[in-house]
Structure 1
Amino acid sequence: MRHHAQVSIAPRTNAALGFAQMLPRDQHLFTKEQLFERMCMALGGRASEALTFNRVTSGAQDDLRKVTRIAYSMVKQFGMAPGIGPISFPEAQEGLMDIGRRPFSQGLQQMMDHEARLLVAKAYRHTENVLQENLDKLQALANALLEKEVINYEDIEALIGPPPHGPKKMIAPQRWIDAQREKQDSGEEEAAEEARQPPL
């Protein structure tokens, strides 16, 4: 399972209202279980929002897009849906309705849609169950984020305990924050410089 290196509720310039910074991993092959865990991880925000406030917002849009992409990849490309079998179709480009040339029937498309929905529903139920069993830890993390805005790996480990599969490598959170700010400042300076240039 992947582990967060840093979690923040500080908004980012790309309109995200908070984010989780992951440790980079040089991994190109994933098992069905690992992909399922990624779906659960991405659904954590939506599920915790529903459990805590008994309502949901549009804040999980990007997470839901990732979950949908993983589910359809498992079904249509990785051959991980028992109801569909070990077949693989090319990934369709987002926003393009190339129905006339798709290499499968309407009936098979409906079956794949059904399998993808089942995967997402299963992942959401699992995520919800995990959160319900650990509401005290969820509340502890929420309180820490409200107090500090940014928490790192050591903070998370102190709040909810060490990961079950051993300690993970850590990053320096302040160094990462400074790098992000420098990147943002650099981008703003470049934009200002371009604005000062006379039109051709």
Structure 2
Amino acid sequence: MKVSIAPRTNAALGFAQILPRDQYLFSKEQLFERMCMALGGRASEAITFNKVTTGAQDDLRKVTRVAYSMVKQYGMSSSVGQVSFPETVEQGAVGRRPFSQGLQQQMDHEAKLLIARAYRQTEKLLLDNRDKLIMLANALLEREVVNYEDIEALLGPPPHGPKKMIAPQSWIEAEKDKQDTGEDDEPRPPPRRKDDDEDNDEHLRPV
């Protein structure tokens, strides 16, 4: 883990860097926690300054995408049910959607509720640990960059055990790979088999 408030060339005012993992399967709880993690910056900004800026735009985009994936693709909404629809970009600009307008509105509602619940939980966690938030902010103002060891010294060890340490060169290589592939922190889908694509085409073709 590495956190920095030093501006980058792509106009980002800072970043939190975590080495990507080769993980393809995520539980509902894991995805929800990733949403909370992504909302940490927006919630911290609102708590500290009592206002928000455009700085969390990319985080909100990721949170929105994960929420819709949980509801629309992963079958993780009890009210929507065990369904999986393709992303809008996969359907193209023409053709009928394989679901009704009413179901679309329901999925919109469920995704919005999920994001709101994640934000409330993130806000509560930060308010309960506001002293640690201030300590971390002061450390960043003083040093501009803090790594895993710095964070552990400030906040204490992680509740679920120590994290794997990454060599500095690994950070550079991982960041370069992400830029080359356009990869971000969103969960990656598992590898697809050819027969899976044929089955999906057969069952999801609109009539």
TM-score by length of 1: 0.82
Q: Work out which of the residue numbers 107, 122, 136 in structure 2 matches 1:112.
A: 107
In the alignment, the residues of structure 1 paired with residue 170 and residue 114 of structure 2 have an alpha-carbon distance, to the nearest angstrom, of 38
In the alignment, the residues of structure 1 paired with residue 149 and residue 39 of structure 2 have an alpha-carbon distance, to the nearest angstrom, of 23
Q: Work out which of the residue numbers 56, 80, 84 in structure 1 matches 2:80.
A: 84
Q: Which has the higher contact order (CA 8 A, sep 6+)?
A: 2
Kindly tell me: are residues 175 and 148 of structure 1, through their superposed partners in 2, closer, same or farther at Cα, counting changes over 3 Å? farther
In the alignment, the residues of structure 2 paired with residue 81 and residue 44 of structure 1 have an alpha-carbon distance, to the nearest angstrom, of 24
Give 3-state SS (helix, strand or coil) of 2:165's partner.
coil
1:91: how far off? 1.2
Task: Deviation per CA, 1:5-26: give whole Å up to 9, x if none.
Answer: 1000112222221111103211
CA RMSD of aligned residues (A): 2.2
- Is the contact between residue 152 and residue 173 of structure 1 (CA under 8 Å) also seen in structure 2? no
Structure 2: give runs of 5+ residues left out of the alignment: 177-207
Partner of 1:30: 26
Where in structure 2 are the equivalents of 1:49-198 lying within 5 Å?
A: 49-93=45-89, 98=94, 100-173=95-168, 176=171
Equivalent AA in structure 2 for residue 14 of structure 1: N
In the alignment, the residues of structure 2 paired with residue 172 and residue 138 of structure 1 have an alpha-carbon distance, to the nearest angstrom, of 26
TM-score by length of 2: 0.79
Give 3-state SS (helix, strand or coil) of 1:151's partner.
strand
Bigger CA radius of gyration = 1
- Is the contact between residue 19 and residue 174 of structure 2 (CA under 8 Å) also seen in structure 1? no
In the alignment, the residues of structure 1 paired with residue 28 and residue 170 of structure 2 have an alpha-carbon distance, to the nearest angstrom, of 35
Count of residues in Structure 1 that have an aligned counterpart in Structure 2: 176
In the alignment, the residues of structure 1 paired with residue 56 and residue 175 of structure 2 have an alpha-carbon distance, to the nearest angstrom, of 22
Equivalent AA in structure 2 for residue 147 of structure 1: E
Partner of 2:202: none
Equivalent AA in structure 2 for residue 114 of structure 1: H
In the alignment, the residues of structure 2 paired with residue 119 and residue 178 of structure 1 have an alpha-carbon distance, to the nearest angstrom, of 34
